[in-house]
Amino acid sequence: MEQTLILTGAQAAAEAARLSRVQVVAAYPITPQSKIPETLSGYVEQGALKAEFVRVESEHSAMGVCIAASIAGARAFTATASNGLAYMHEQLHWAAGSRLPIVMPVANRGVGAPWTILNDCQDTISQRDTGWMQFYCMNNQEVLDLVIVAFKAAEKLLIPCMVCFDGFLLSHTYMPVAVPGQKEVDVFLPPYVPFHTMDGDNPVNINPVVTSEPIPDPDGVLSPGYIGFRHRLQKSHEGALPVIRQAGREFGQVFGRSYEDPLFGYRAEDADFVFVAMGAIAGEACEAVDALRQEGVKAGVIALRIYRPFPALELYQALRHRRVVGVIEKAISYGYEGALASELKAAFYGKGGPMPLISNYIAGLGGKELPTADLVEAARQSITAAQNGVVPEGAQWIGC
């Protein structure tokens, strides 16, 4: 039976892992995600979670444990942040290339140097091309729900998934969270059935060196060369959104909170100006929209819940008739602009017809406060530029 608890984002992620009946947890602490494995270790010690809790010496090793556990057929889970995620980089490629449905919450935090323990999204955006799916959460309810949805989608697609949420803004902030009952979660997320089984009597070499050309496997079946495996992963990503939608729809049917739509909209139905964002910053944009509406500006928010695979068609359909779009990002692709802004612009390429003027704003890096007034002013600047027929070049920075 569902009950409402007051939880931090870290506690919500741990609770979701417990409800998902994870079988192996690999743990290494790094602020601000440390409370996730701390909570799970308590569950294991109390007998509330039947899982192997593996204490490791680094984030690289944590992902290595998850890779081995997932290959062996276990539902595997870890969590990290910031430089810890960067330290996993090699293993992230290995997990995706091995087609392992590992789920990993990431409590977003700025990457050193210089050091900060506070929030931005540079850590996960820098890992966007490792082959992992990436979900972004606006609040702690979404943290809990999307971890469970992520396991459902990952195990169908055989693609690992990061569930990203803002460090401290969500990870350490208490919010009411509706926690589903275990029986209902078991119906939605049955035990993981691995795509192959380990058999000691018939040993195999998993992930051997491959050539550039297809070669026969041990059974004589012609298997792809290296580029073929990369192509298969890309095709799986290209076909992933319908599977994620279905998982989100089924979650809604069971728990009453649907995640079928990869986008979240706030007062966007009639909006001429739209903020586009991901994560907790989208909630801050909602406050700015309320202020703009009081000034008579038809403003709204479109937030991405899913960043990888990129919902290009959905964004195009949601924004093609808008006049002005302001993309607010907590990350920068150095030497150009925010990655989300670049990809949003690409979504319009070759479509023809109307296209909004798109401005890009970089804000909130390293936990820098983002006042509502600054977002309102950014919207005004974007609208004025559109009225003057000016296309802003590159990213504009707020608060530096």
- Quote the CA–CA distance of 69 and 24 in Å, as a whole number: 7
DSSP character string of 297-334:
--EEEEEESEEES--HHHHHHHHTT-SEEEEEES---T
Q: Where are the domains of the chain?
A: 3-193+240-255, 263-397
At residue 257 the predicted structure's pLDDT band, cuts being 50, 70 and 90, is very high
At residue 389 the predicted structure's pLDDT band, cuts being 50, 70 and 90, is confident
Helices 9-19, 140-157: inter-axial angle, 10-degree rounding = 40
Residue 202 has pLDDT above 90, yes or no: no
- Quote the CA–CA distance of 195 and 155 in Å, as a whole number: 9
Phi, psi angle pair for 141, to nearest 5°:
-60, -40
* Maximum alpha-carbon separation in the chain: 73
User: Residue 190, preceding bond cis, omega within 30 degrees?
Assistant: no
Cα distances from 8 to residues 22, 135, 166, 174, 184, in angstroms, run 20, 18, 11, 4, 22
Express each pLDDT in 114-151 by its tens digit.
999 999 999 999 999 999 999 999 999 999 999 999 99
- Give the mean model confidence (pLDDT) for residues 180-204: 90
Residue 263 has pLDDT above 80, yes or no: yes
Architecture of the domain defined by 3-193+240-255: 3-Layer(aba) Sandwich (3.40)
In whole angstroms, what separates CA 310 from the centre of its chain?
Answer: 11
At residue 1 the predicted structure's pLDDT band, cuts being 50, 70 and 90, is confident
Q: Is 61 helix (H, G, I), strand (E, B) or coil?
A: helix
Express each pLDDT in 14-24 by its tens digit.
999 999 999 99
- Quote the CA–CA distance of 124 and 256 in Å, as a whole number: 29
Q: Which parts of 47-88 fold into alpha helices (H)?
A: 59-71, 82-87
At residue 201 the predicted structure's pLDDT band, cuts being 50, 70 and 90, is confident
Lowest mean pLDDT across 115-124, 177-186, 191-200, 329-338 = 191-200
pLDDT number for residue 370: 96
Pairing of strands 3-7, 175-179: antiparallel
- Give the mean model confidence (pLDDT) for residues 366-379: 97
Express each pLDDT in 217-236 by its tens digit.
778 888 899 999 999 999 99
- Quote the CA–CA distance of 104 and 157 in Å, as a whole number: 16
Exposed/middle/buried for residue 86 (C-beta within 10 Å: 0-12, 13-18, 19+): middle
At residue 392 the predicted structure's pLDDT band, cuts being 50, 70 and 90, is confident
Amino acid at position 258, single letter: S
- Give the mean model confidence (pLDDT) for residues 8-19: 98
- Give the mean model confidence (pLDDT) for residues 70-74: 95
- Give the mean model confidence (pLDDT) for residues 45-50: 97
**For residues 77 and 41, is the Cβ–Cβ distance under 8 A?**
no
Shared fold status for 3-193+240-255 and 263-397: yes
pLDDT number for residue 219: 81
Residue 39 has pLDDT above 90, yes or no: yes
- Quote the CA–CA distance of 396 and 359 in Å, as a whole number: 8
Cα-only R_g, the chain: 21
Beta bridge partners of 70: none
**CATH 3.40.50.920 is right for the domain spanning 263-397:** yes
pLDDT number for residue 207: 79
- Quote the CA–CA distance of 269 and 280 in Å, as a whole number: 21
